[in-house]
Amino acid sequence: MSAPPLVHLRSIALTFGGTPLLEAAELAVAPGDRIGLVGRNGSGKSTLLKIAAGLVEADAGTRFVQPGATIRYLPQEPDLSGFASVLAYVEAGLGPGDDPYRARYLLERLGMTGEENPASLSGGEARRAALARTLAPEPDVLLLDEPTNHLDLPAIEWLEEELSGLRSAVVLISHDRRFLEDLTRATVWLDRGLTRRLEQGFAAFETWRDKVFEEEEAERHKLDREIAREEDWVRYGVTARRKRNVRRMADLADLRTKRREGRRAVGQVRMEASEAETSGAQVIVADRIAKSFDDRPIVRDLSLRVLRGDRVGIVGPNGAGKTTLINLLTGALAPDAGSVTLGTKLALVTIDQKRAALDPSTSVIDTLTGGRGDSVMVNGKPKHVVGYLKDFLFTPLQARQPVSALSGGERARLLLARALATPSNLLVLDEPTNDLDLETLDLLEELLGDYEGTILLVSHDRDFLDRCCTSVLMAEGEGRWVEYGGGYSDMVAQRGAGVQARRVDKPAAEASRVQAAKPVAADAGKRKLSFKEKHALETLPEKMAALGRDIAKLQAVLDDAGLYARDPARFEKATALMAKAHADLAAAEEEWLTLEMLREELEG
């Protein structure tokens, strides 16, 4: 028998501004649950979480909390005002029986000392402080709203590990697909004011969601056919010509009402990038560049060649200098040493993580048009600005509002809309995934996949890096950057580890930095191939040979000129298998080459 819920929301309804946000939402959280709360931006996820936390009162429905159960809620925008230090803010969240040492432990693991002044914190630092305050009591229920926003990769991976080890039940909202897949065991989908629950983690959600949409569409077609039949009877039926059947007319009215009042799924974002003329083959050539600030090396002796069509991901902990490196590579900042040569015919468009390019007082329309007219040019064709904004899910009413009235997700979409309307062949994306919902992320990934220009991408989203990048430039510390082929997972496989936290030592930062450089060099001399690496070196040649044989067989099938006309399904399946086999072979060859070079280097 399953345990009774610690928190139970039943038939929750809430209306803002005349439009129902929640109509009959449900949420049950039992001990040990790991629930992902998912839905489009604006669907009411954060509001439902606040209702569960007792911070917002619903118009209708009931909220039950098990007597004695403790709940902690992580808001998207924490308020640290009124506290003398970050430690005081975190300790204020502890209960009488909680371990006071845990506050310091969590702050230290999140890269903070606790002595920081809350008034001078960045958005990322405020989020870390709020996380420490939320996790410190080890409550019965954790309600986490976008816990990974503004966190770097080391902090995200540490948070995953920390949450996995807690006894608390967890309900989390996140746009980080990998984070959701790793942590959740159930998924609650909030869609058009209603909730549906899937007793599987997020990895199974998207397939299930698509099936629900297909069933809804089939039901809608069935309803439309039924209405058409009844309307035909009204016009042409024998009975209808003599005397209307009152009951049947009432049924028709009910069917029409059902169709009219049925809420359809929210529209899809439609993205299209305006591309400039093709750039030269060489886009960026960096030759032994270096840059330091206050004697701290940010970039040291980096040589890099970026060719047209490359998608380079730049990763590292906060403070490693990722944005500085972007500025060096695009010519916005001069290096202290070395040179950067930019290719010909470059048309650069940048999306920055701080949304600094948006003026809060300017209207949404004027942000796109510059105050000139009511059209935007998209791929050389004029498009009415309101219609273009609809492609990014903005209503005509929102189009006239100032930017300051938009949510974080809406500002992210507006910045994308403006950037994609500008002709470019070099896109620089600095944390583009912040505040975007999962569906918009999917479409952005598809757009980047079709984009014919070159991309420089800074991101802490592991799944996004895996899907979008052809190589990853990794901050190895002390200003050293190394390029790895493939996405983030490929980099981890080649390097043997992910991004490590940049340590900010308290008393003797300079001494520790000097000390840190020596053991690394010593360890490198003792480095040996791991068992996994040796096994891969031995087995990859046979795997590559097998893939080669598979490709030959598939090619023989596809060489049949009449296959498509005779059996299109088999042709499509063979084509898909051929593409996968080529991709697997390329990945295996890249992995083998990397390991073979490593073996030669280690063996002298």
The pLDDT value given to residue 241: 44
User: Who has greater pLDDT, 420 or 176?
Assistant: 176
Question: Which of 124-128, 377-381, 382-386 is the least confident region?
Answer: 377-381
* Tokens, residue 2: 């399953």
DSSP 340: E
User: Who has greater pLDDT, 317 or 59?
Assistant: 59
Question: Which residue is it, tokens 């403070």?
Answer: 319
Please state, for a pLDDT cut of 70, what percent of the chain lies above it.
Answer: 83
Q: Which CATH class is domain 7-207?
A: alpha beta
Closest alpha carbon to 268 in 223, 213, 220: 213
Helix, strand or coil for residue 441? helix
If DSSP states are collapsed to H, E and C, what string results for 341-389?
Answer: EECCCCCEEEECCCCCCCCCCCEHHHHHHCCCCCEEEECCEEEEHHHHH
User: Who has greater pLDDT, 366 or 590?
Assistant: 366
**Domain at 531-602, CATH from 3.40.50.150, 3.40.630.30, 1.10.287.380, 1.10.3210.10:** 1.10.287.380
Mean pLDDT of 341-364: 80
Please count the CA atoms within 13 angstroms of the CA of 573 that sit on its side-chain side: 6
Q: Is the dihedral of CA 525, 526, 531, 535 positive or negative?
A: positive
Alpha-carbon span 359 to 365, nearest angstrom: 12
The pLDDT value given to residue 365: 87
Mean pLDDT of 344-373: 80
Residues 395-450: tens digit of each pLDDT = 788 888 888 877 767 777 888 888 878 888 898 988 887 777 777 787 788 878 88
Mean pLDDT of 187-209: 91
Ranges of each domain in the chain: 7-207, 208-261, 282-526, 531-602
If DSSP states are collapsed to H, E and C, what string results for 298-311?
Answer: EEEEEEEEEECCCE
Mean pLDDT of 517-531: 48
pLDDT above 70 for 523:
no
Please count the CA atoms within 13 angstroms of the CA of 416 that sit on its side-chain side: 28
| Identity at 94, one-letter amino acid code | L
Binned at pLDDT 50, 70 and 90, residue 171 comes out as very high
The mean pLDDT value of the chain amounts to 81
Q: Are 385 and 399 in contact (CB under 8 A)?
A: yes
Helix, strand or coil for residue 333? coil
Mean pLDDT of 325-339: 92
Contacts 24+ apart (CB under 8 A), 552-557: 554/578, 554/581
Question: Which of 223-232, 442-451, 516-525, 547-556 is the least confident region?
Answer: 516-525
Architecture of the domain delimited by 282-526: 3-Layer(aba) Sandwich (3.40)
DSSP 164: H
Taking CA atoms, 138 is separated from 70, 92, 97, 170, in Å, by: 9, 14, 11, 11
Q: Comparing 282-526 with 531-602, is the CATH topology the same?
A: no
Residues 458-469: tens digit of each pLDDT = 988 888 888 889
Residues 6 or more apart whose Cβ sits within 8 Å of residue 419: 349, 350, 351, 427
pLDDT above 50 for 507:
no
